[in-house]
Amino acid sequence: MDGMSRPPHAREKVLDAFEALLIDEGDRAATLDAVAGAAGVSKGGLLYHFGSKDELERGLIARLIALAEADAAIGRAAPEGPIAYYLRTSGESGGPLDRAIVAVSRLAHGGHAAASAALRDVRARWAEMLRPATRDATTLELVMLVGDGLYLNAALTGGVPGDVPTGPDLDALIALVERTAHD
């Protein structure tokens, strides 16, 4: 390893810091200086990995797309099927994919076109995962909207038990949606 190499985890630390600043304080607070400070690296260290804020945004969007693709692959292979997988995971919050979605959403709300496109891409990946398990476009949209509702409810309530279906209640909801999607 030569003296100019940086550990690959430093890049991830910078992305983690950018993501956290976007989530906690918004786009305006996520300056390069603030990101470097939050990541515990010098501004030069940040610029080694991301030469500009635009590159940092592209890095975060790439992270989101990679996480969404991995999620869709897991859903396609899930033993319980893609609908059950999608609905069960829609009510979860705080994980890497959720954090990336929230952070990229902050960029999109600020008018960042690539962030908006990335969020549409994530939704399209989930739709492609679900399409084979649904009978038509209307039932596909129903499944997607139920997932959206679970996600929003978990986000608004902080996932408080009783506010988001879990256990037998979630199982019953999934069974109902799957019957509707297949009949």
More confident residue, 122 or 10: 122
User: How is residue 156 written in tokens?
Assistant: 């608004």
For residues 45 and 71, membership in a common domain is answered with no
- Average pLDDT in the chain: 91
Does the residue 172 lie in any domain?
A: yes
For residues 27 and 79, membership in a common domain is answered with no
Q: Is the pLDDT of residue 2 over 50?
A: no
pLDDT digits (tens, 9 = 90+) for 48-91: 999 999 999 999 999 999 999 999 999 999 999 999 999 999 98
For residues 84 and 110, membership in a common domain is answered with yes
Closest C-alpha to 93, from 167, 157, 179, 21: 157
Q: Is the pLDDT of residue 5 over 50?
A: no
Q: Where are the alpha helices (H) located in the chain, listed in sequence order?
A: 8-25, 32-39, 43-49, 53-77, 82-90, 96-109, 113-130, 137-157, 167-182
Does the residue 56 lie in any domain?
A: no
Does the residue 75 lie in any domain?
A: yes
Q: What is the CATH number of the domain that holds 29?
A: 1.10.10.60
19: CB partners within 8 A, 6+ apart:
60, 63, 99, 100, 103
Domain that holds residue 163: 61-182
Task: Name residue 167's amino acid.
Answer: G
For residues 1 and 82, membership in a common domain is answered with no
**Measured between alpha carbons, how far is 171 from 96 in angstroms, rounded to an integer?**
24
**If pLDDT is split at 50, 70 and 90, which confidence band does 9 have?**
confident
35 and 21 in contact (C-beta within 8 Å)?
yes
For residues 47 and 67, membership in a common domain is answered with no
For residues 117 and 175, membership in a common domain is answered with yes
**If pLDDT is split at 50, 70 and 90, which confidence band does 4 have?**
very low
Percent of the chain, pLDDT > 70? 93
What local confidence, expressed as pLDDT, does residue 159 receive?
62
